[in-house]
Structure 1
Amino acid sequence: MTLLVAWYWSRGRRPSLSGLFLGVLAISLAVLAVFSHRSDIRVGADVDFDFSRLIENVAPESVLIANTWIGNEYAAGIATVLTSDYHHDYYWGYRYFVTFLIRPIPRQIWPTKYEDMNADWLRHEDSYVMERSIAAVGHPLVNGASTGSIADVYMEFAWGVVLVFYLLGRAFGLAWRRHRMRGGIWSVWLIAMLVLSIYLPTQSFSAWLHRLLFMGVVTSLFWRFWIRPRRVVGRREER
């Protein structure tokens, strides 16, 4: 994937939709093939590829708690969506608000921040999610199981997830155009967005955005007050 992105970056052209689809499909199948045979892959081993094992990874027969698939990301994501539908309650942006704006404030400065914001459940989120999941789908989510960004945003905005990901695509498109036309800090933002995009399918939308803001804001300030003035001075000296 890194080589593919670097190749398109050097060409200065966005990949076609068909090329992007085929590339992602090929990479996904390769990852699934390795994942489904990981117990047999070792130095000197003679691995016989079994297509049925790959299919089992894509469409498991069971997601019962006694089955290891309960920790599968797809199963965790579906369970999260079903849990939100079962309880008919969504955060409507409040969880993101607390996570991005309230949580970073040190407890030494604001000891009762969660209580004051009526978000004490964030301190006990694992047990809170477990209780909701058991009531909705009959089993808890395995600790550490990732739900993916789609389920994460669905839990926040319900079907507003469609709009959020549309805007996300527009943001990537804007970053790409600004990178091609202006360069500079926009190239840095695009690189950060692409590098961190692995968090979207493997972790959550908030995990991606949290790291992007941390990297992007700090880098933008450094660029604005340190790199940009030096570039301006350098150009004047060249003239």
Structure 2
Amino acid sequence: MYYTLIGLLAAFGAFAIFRDWTRWHDVFHPTIYCVPQLMFLYVAFPLYGLATDEFEFVSRAGYWDQLAGFQFIAGVMCIALICGIWWGTRKVASAPGTIIEHDAKAIFAVAVLFGILGSVSWIVGIVNVGGFDAAYGRAYGGGWDDSGYVREAAQFGFVAAPLLILSRRKGGMHLQHWLLVFIFLVPLLVQGFLGARRGPTFLAITGLAASYILTFRPRIPFWLASAAALLLGMLLLWLVANRGAIYLGSVQALDSPVSRMLENWSGNEYLLSSAIVRYVNEVGEPFYGLRIFAHMTARVVPSAIWPTKYADVLAMLGLDIDLTQEAGIPVDRIAIVTGWKVAIGAAPGIVGDFWMEFGMFAPLAAFALGMLYGRLWRRSLSDPRLQPAYAMFAALSIYILTQTIEAWMFRSLLFGIPAIVALRLLARRRNDVHVPNQTWYAHSLMQPGRARHCE
């Protein structure tokens, strides 16, 4: 039964990719980059675990009945997300957007502003820990600042790159523009490669690729897209496997195979996700959105202004969890149910985190997420002003699919909203400028002589 469920999910995922590629031929259609991540987590991951050590894997998952029950839930949620994408990509009536020369200059200026803010924030964090050698001379290194906003602002190059590329939509990218993009992405690339972090690495590479492809629409063969995705996935796994040996001055061999990450049973996302489902179904209660509400409410206020914000918000909502540990997932209570403790830093993935938050309504939440991605993709086809935001959402998919809702939502708000607001304000400014001309033209049509002269 269990292998049948895995086979059905794999078949549906392959069908979804085939369907949407043959229809759209778009590398950054939501199905093309979301489904492979789901297939890795809920098809390849368990199959590898069973092939490596079946007894260890099955016993941690609660044996075959529990394992089959979880796989059924995972399959339903994955299919719900894919169906949400299909629903969201239906044709919607929306006015096409345009970018004129003045807009392009303004967008370029906004991109440079974000790039400078990101670079300055990154440098401040490095200075705070004693310099570049101190920041990256240790495993899993990086800068630091007491303000979470400063720490996250170091990644503003992730906003700058798609805006800059969009501003060159008509003139094309030249060497100086690529150099600027590279400079703005240096904080993410250094944090990704020297800090051995999957998130910044994926954001920098995927965000840049999505921005260029969405803006200039080059024809990308399916085999090339597949090969690039496979190489990127292997790179991310390699960074995790060799995390302890990646730092300035390291003399350790960087030869740990990518399978090392897959065999980390206590940090296995599939097993953690199944453990959460068991816990919620047996002894726990879903949070029904309160945990995410608490996260967002507390995170938007700087700690310097409200030092006890997490404890206060939790007390106000009556939640007995710790938001500063494992995104509020009660791992100690889960360990009582499963008999094993989750490794620090392990992520639950979309199935576990959504089930912890929404319970039986998790498939509906997955459908809504897919619909959001599908709708944003569809609208970005006709309105280039949405392309930077969609490129960022595409890159941020790694957080919602493989990590937590909170990790995705906070970054979506922090990175996506500024880009959308900036472009919308520019569009409004342009419309305001053109209103008098439109009014004059409409008035002239009511006077035959003038209308004829205009023609």
Pairwise TM-score range, normalised by the shorter structure: 0.5 to 0.7
Are 2:375 and 1:179 equivalent residues in the alignment? no
In the alignment, which residue of structure 2 is the partner of 1:167? 368
Aligned with residue 306 of structure 2, among 95, 107, 112:
107
Indicate the larger mover: 168-177 or 30-39.
30-39
Q: Does 1:90 align with 2:289?
A: no
Checking the alignment, whether the CA contact within 8 Å between 2:272 and 2:342 is kept in structure 1 is yes
* Counterpart amino acid of residue 371 in structure 2: R
* Matching residue within 406, 414, 417 for 1:217: 417
Amino acid at match of 1:107: W
Cα displacement string for residues 12-56 of structure 1 (whole angstroms, at most 9, x for unaligned residues): 89x99x98x9679845874698589869xxxxx9x9xx9xx95x8
Q: Tell me which residue corresponds to 1:11.
A: 217
Q: Does 1:133 align with 2:334?
A: yes
Tell me, in whole angstroms, the C-alpha distance in 2 between the residues paired with 1:116 and 1:33.
40
Q: TM-score, normalised by structure 1?
A: 0.68
> In the alignment, residue 11 of structure 1 is paired with which amino acid?
R
Counterpart in the other structure of 2:17: none
SS of the equivalent of 1:156 reads: helix
Root mean square deviation of aligned Cα: 4.4
Alpha-carbon distance, 1:212 to partner? 0.5
SS at match of 2:392: helix
How far the C-alpha of 1:102 sits from its partner, in A, is 4.5
Matches within 5 A, 1:14-163: 26=230, 30=234, 68-105=264-301, 106-107=305-306, 112-119=312-319, 121-123=321-323, 125=325, 129-163=330-364
Specify the structure having the higher radius of gyration (Cα).
2
Does the Cα contact within 8 Å between 2:322 and 2:330 map onto a contact in 1? no
Contact 1:32/1:57, CA 8 A, preserved across alignment: no
In the superposition, the TM-score normalised over structure 2's length comes to 0.39
Over the matched positions of the two proteins, sequence identity in percent amounts to: 22
- Distance of 2:432 and 2:372 partners within structure 1: 31
| Gap regions ≥5 residues in structure 1 | 40-44, 61-67
**Which range is displaced more, 194-203 or 215-224?**
215-224
Q: 1:173 to 1:137 in 2, by over 3 A?
A: same
Per-residue deviation at 1:235? Answer: 6.6
Shift of 1:154: 1.0
> Which residue is 2:51 aligned to?
none
Q: Which residue of 1 aligns with 2:400?
A: 200
Shift of 1:81: 2.1
Q: Which runs of 5+ in 2 are unaligned?
A: 1-204, 244-252, 439-455
**Matched residues in 1 for 2:333 and 2:308: separation?**
32
Q: Which amino acid in structure 2 is aligned with residue 164 of structure 1? A: A
Contact 2:237 2:261 in 1 (8 A): no
> Alignment length, in residue pairs?
222
Aligned residue identity for 1:135 = I
- Alignment partners' CA distance in 2, 1:29 and 1:195: 13
Q: Is the 8 A contact 2:211 2:387 kept in 1?
A: no
Distance in 1 between the 2:397 and 2:292 partners?
18
Relative to structure 1, the CA distance from residue 216 to residue 25 in structure 2 (aligned partners, 3 Å threshold; closer, same or farther) is closer
